[in-house]
Amino acid sequence: MRNLFAFLYRHHVFFVFILLEIVAFGILIQSHHYQGSRFASSAQAWSGKVLEYFENSVDYFSLKKINHLLAEENAQLRNRISTSPISHKKNNALPHQYISAKVIKSSYNKRNNYLTLNKGRLNGIEKGMGVCVNEGVVGIVRDVTDNYATVMSVLNKHAVISSRFTKSNHFGEIVWDGKSHHFAQLRSVEKYVDVSIGDTLTTNSFSSIFPEGILLGTVNRFERDDSENFYKIEIDLSVDYSNIDYVYVIKNLHGKERLELESKLKEND
Amino acid sequence: MTKAFLHIKRFFILIGLQVIVLNNVQISGYLNPYIYILFIMLLPPKMPKALVLSLAFLTGFTVDVFENSYGIHAAASVFMAYVRPTVLSLVSVKGGEDLETIGIRQLRFARFFTYSGILCILHHFTLFYIEAFRLNEFIDTFVRALTSTVISLLIILLIESVRSNSHK
């Protein structure tokens, strides 16, 4: 027994090293699971406060730009109301609710990028909600605390956004290879699909996260390799990730109902 | 007591510089400097190794929380702290046991450059490969880690030369 203690003591540095590495990798692996709370996230109250404090101090410099963007968006919305009489009728049955939030921290040059928002659970934000700006999709809510939330950006190796071509309705998945924040890749588009440069991609109705028809980007370049079944397509993302100040979090009011129904299907299989 | 205070002050300054300034300067995906590791590099050689490992974990974890990187900075920092004594024995005769503190003034520029260079390379390559975790991005990750190492090392040497000059 004494030998054992002597052994442990002699190599205690190594054991501390192994232990700490296990904890670190534990945090990393746990973060891949959708369920489970993640305490190592900037949605934590203390880190959120620090980030918010510094974001507020540089806020004034972007007010002019934000004003301009809001005015433009207002004009667009007015146009949409006046051109589509249908939306008036359906107004009461809209399945989505939008919550506006301010970005207090964002990155776009890492392999895995996240945004931190200044609103959280108390404002109705929940894990798994979609996040967009006027120009298109930004990402999906990852962690929520009472007053803050983190968003997994499209610029992340774990993000897969399902999309469709507006002209042909064909399906494809948007992923990011980590190289440029202007471009993402589109996969699972089969070879028989007619693709041309400039084609628009929007969200589809497969997922309950985003409403149908939110802009994702346009085809920038594509390749058709005869040895493979799918196209290689590069997408010019519509959102400028280097420049996001305010976002909308999308709450799907029928989401729960839909998920319940779909999980029943899986049980029956 | 004053020495402990010095390290605590250094911790806050370096973490603050990292999280508030450097993490917001986003020039390109190939230039991600991480200079908070200077805090671990400058810990006294005589400090118990288990304590150095724990402080490295704490430092990395703090950066992780602000970066939303879930443990990767903690893992890379702990690894760097674990190999630190070995690297230290490369640049000093008695493995640093005779030194009270580490810095450009104690080691001279060439040896401090070797010391911080090796540690910076090990830390950054561990970090970027854990982050990518994909072999098909091997070359791209390699370039990212290399360019970021160069810029980190430049900033670290700059800070360290200013710091050691001001202490005279």
ipTM: 0.86
**For residue B1, what pLDDT is reported?**
57
Q: CB–CB of B78/A20 below 8 Å?
A: yes
**For residue A4, what pLDDT is reported?**
84
Asked whether residue A113 carries a pLDDT value surpassing 60, the answer given is yes
Please tell me the distance from the alpha carbon of residue A54 to that of residue A58, in angstroms, as a whole number: 7
Q: CB–CB of A259/A208 below 8 Å?
A: yes
CATH of domain A161-237: 2.40.10.350
Asked whether residue A59 carries a pLDDT value surpassing 90, the answer given is no
Q: Distance from CA of residue A59 to its chain's centroid?
A: 23
**A254 in contact with B at a CB cutoff of 8 Å?**
no
Q: What is the number of alpha carbons within 13 Å of residue B168 lying toward its C-beta?
A: 7
CATH class of segment(s) A45-154+245-251:
mainly beta
Residues 11-50 of A with CB under 8 A from B: 12-13, 16-17, 20-21, 23-28, 30-31, 38, 40-42, 44, 47, 50
| CB-CB neighbours of A185 under 10 Å | 15
A224 vs A14, residue with greater confidence: A14
Segment B132-139 mean pLDDT: 79
Segment A242-267 mean pLDDT: 82
- Nearest to residue A42, comparing CAs of A135, A138, A144, A131? A144
Beta carbons of B49 and A242 less than 8 Å apart: no
**For residue B168, what pLDDT is reported?**
53
Q: CB–CB of A58/A104 below 8 Å?
A: no
Give chain A positions within 8 Å (CB) of B132.
Answer: 111, 157, 178
Asked whether residue A137 carries a pLDDT value surpassing 80, the answer given is yes
Q: Where are the domains of chain A?
A: 45-154+245-251, 161-237
Pairing of strands A114-117, A171-175: unpaired
Segment B78-102 mean pLDDT: 85
- pLDDT band at A51; cut points 50, 70, 90: confident
H/E stretch holding A117 reads: strand A114-117
- Whether A161-237 and A45-154+245-251 are alike in CATH topology: the answer is yes
Chain A residue with Cα closest to B49: A13
**For residue A269, what pLDDT is reported?**
66
Q: Which of B29, B65, B144 sits opposite A40 (nearest CB)?
A: B65
Q: Calculate the average pLDDT of chain B.
A: 88
Q: Which of A50, A150, A181 sits opposite B68 (nearest CB)?
A: A150
A263 vs B161, residue with greater confidence: B161
Chain A residue with Cα closest to B48: A13
Q: Is A42 left (phi over 0), alpha (psi -120 to 50) or beta?
A: alpha
- Give the tens place of pLDDT for each residue, A146-196: 899 999 999 998 888 999 998 888 888 999 988 888 999 998 888 888 888
Considering the entire predicted model, what is its pTM? 0.78
In angstroms, the separation between the Cα of residue B122 and the nearest Cα of chain A is: 15
Please tell me the distance from the alpha carbon of residue A174 to that of residue A159, in angstroms, as a whole number: 8
Q: CB–CB of A148/A117 below 8 Å?
A: yes
Q: At what angle do helices A2-10 and A12-32 cross, to 10 degrees?
A: 70
Percent of chain B predicted with pLDDT > 70:
96
How many residue pairs bridge chain A and chain B with CB atoms within 8 Å of each other? 108
Beta bridge partners of residue A132, listed in sequence order: A137, A248
- pLDDT band at B167; cut points 50, 70, 90: low
Q: List alpha helices for chain A, DSSP H.
A: 2-10, 12-32, 45-57, 63-83, 86-90, 255-268
Asked whether residue A52 carries a pLDDT value surpassing 90, the answer given is no
User: Got the DSSP string for B39-64?
Assistant: HHHTS-TTS-HHHHHHHHHHHHHHHH
Pairing of strands A149-153, A130-133: unpaired
- pLDDT band at B121; cut points 50, 70, 90: very high
Q: Calculate the average pLDDT of chain A.
A: 83
| CB-CB neighbours of B155 under 10 Å | 16
Give chain A positions within 8 Å (CB) of B65.
Answer: 40-42, 44, 47
Asked whether residue B161 carries a pLDDT value surpassing 80, the answer given is yes
**For residue A176, what pLDDT is reported?**
92
Asked whether residue A128 carries a pLDDT value surpassing 70, the answer given is yes
Asked whether residue A85 carries a pLDDT value surpassing 60, the answer given is no
Segment A11-36 mean pLDDT: 83
Segment A50-75 mean pLDDT: 79
B56 vs B19, residue with greater confidence: B56
- pLDDT band at B136; cut points 50, 70, 90: confident
**For residue A192, what pLDDT is reported?**
84
